[in-house]
Structure 1
């Protein structure tokens, strides 16, 4: 003889278990900028890093990532005050040394490089900082460029600072500047999104900077860092990180200069 009360009890217990599981997911407030293609689009719906985080949440349901989009200055402020638990993608080299002890960092997720971008048919050979002396170079206002910052501050490199990357491309094509600084991952999709043909530009074969992209995390959330690191290590071992990069990268469509070491 069937006992309906047992079925009701079973379903009630199942609902309780599911409810507890949903409530127990720890929310991680993670700050993002206005867009960092191909890692994440301005709407935070697609990109290498978005796919990466989706899979992380699937594999580790104990964490729920709350994405908060902010201007860069406020991203840093939220991290400084602890309002945010994590900074989506950053590089340790761009964080002032006195502040680094306040945070822990994930293992490197991807490595990227900044390059000199020139007009096609009007290139020069870039292999070291001295090759930029006396040239007019476009850069993004507020961005750091490592060893090139003091050279621009001293006037050895004439810097034109603008608010957006499309402005840099337009200035370059209209010959208002000799070159601009750009990123091997981020600039190609930005060019295409703003209707600048990739074949009008040449990237330096020699990079300006090479840096690793990591997730910056509050020291109070070292447990999240440990779980994320295990996921990064597994994703690298299985080829998932490489597959994401291959899927989203535009590097194969770029033209590089002919300068050799």
Structure 2
């Protein structure tokens, strides 16, 4: 009886080892600084996903595609899944969703020398607000339509940051991580040091790993990923990767 039990235990342990050493294949697209073939670890979001799986003994291979194709290839089960996506009812029919991988935020950038706080839209009335042509600013455009503010639109983000430095505008709406990446890529350290952002987000977007329901064992793999992600967050490395990205360490 004991020998049979030990044999079953041995077989079970081997099956777990095989499962733990598997490779998962995920599609993704270019979205710097979150995801990019040109960044270390393919960007900090890919780094987070890789390390969360690694804590559960699973390797990750990334397949970069245009976003539309990346989604379609994951949808039909050609690959295990894709990173990173927001939730919507249509996608939830076909994919298992992970816990939150990263929260994207749109915030107001401003100079440290400008004393700025806002808690509601009325706090923005009377400010010189910058914007880039072609971008949608739902909150600001609503106020603009009401005649409460004017948005000073220019052709490029570069011009908007320049207007901030020249104090021709007070605030400028931008994605938090994309904004700091632009600063790191284009300005000298002494100029970068002049910038900050208001901590209150204008918009929050929650991004997730999605795994196709067409692939066997994906539900189990999602359970392992969520467990690894919790461990990564608890270790402090999760926040470390985000901070390092904002400091330009993934270039």
Question: TM-score by structure 1 length?
Answer: 0.61
Helix, strand or coil for the counterpart of 1:83? helix
Task: Report the counterpart of residue 7 of structure 2 in structure 1.
Answer: none
Q: How does 1:8-27 map to 2 (within 5 A)?
A: 27=25
Residue 31 of structure 1: aligned partner: 28
What's 2:83 paired with?
88
Partner of 1:199: 193
CA distance in 2, matches of 1:252, 1:83: 31
1:107 alignment counterpart: 99
1:118 aligns to 2:115 (yes or no):
no
SS in structure 1 at match of 2:116: coil
Separation of aligned partners in 2, 1:184 and 1:108? 17
Structure 1 unaligned blocks of 5 or more: 1-20, 254-261
Would you say the 8 A contact 1:31–1:87 is kept in 2? yes
Provide closer, same or farther for how the CA distance between residues 183 and 52 of structure 1 changes in structure 2, counting only shifts above 3 A.
same
Native 8 Å contact 2:180 2:246 kept in 1? no
- 2:139 pairs with one of 140, 148, 153: 148
Structure 1 residues 44 and 90: CA distance shift in structure 2, 3 A: farther
Q: Which residue of 2 aligns with 1:136?
A: 129
Which stretch of the first structure deviates more once superposed, 152-161 or 190-199? Answer: 152-161
For structure 2, the 5+ residue unaligned runs are 1-18, 76-80
Name the SS for the 2:40 alignment partner.
coil
Separation of aligned partners in 1, 2:95 and 2:157: 30
- CA drift of 1:249 comes to 0.5
**Cα distance change of structure 1 residues 152 and 42 upon mapping to structure 2, 3 Å threshold:** farther
- SS of residue matched to 2:193: helix
Does the residue aligned with 1:213 lie in a helix, a strand or coil? strand
Deviation at 1:168, TM superposition (A): 3.3
Cα distance per residue 1:194-234 (max 9 Å; x no partner)? 22533222321433233433124444358435413422323
Distance 1:248 1:32, change over 3 A: same
Instruction: Name the SS of the counterpart of 1:168 in structure 2.
Output: helix
Find the aligned partners of 1:164 and 1:89 in 2 and give their Cα distance.
26
Cα RMSD, aligned residues only: 4.1
Q: Is the 8 A contact 2:23 2:61 kept in 1?
A: no
8 Å CA contact 1:119–1:201 kept in 2: the answer is yes
TM-score (norm 2): 0.63
CA distance in 1, matches of 2:106, 2:46: 22
Counterpart-to-counterpart distance in 2, 1:187 and 1:228: 31
Aligned length: 217
Q: Which of 191, 208, 228 is matched with 1:214 structurally? A: 208
Using the alignment, how far apart are the partners of 1:121 and 1:150 within structure 2? 26
Quote the offset at 1:133 in angstroms: 4.0
> Secondary structure, in 3 states, of the residue corresponding to 1:181?
strand
The CA distance in 2 between the partners of 1:153 and 1:217, in whole Å, is 41
Which moves more between the two structures, 226-235 or 216-225? Answer: 216-225
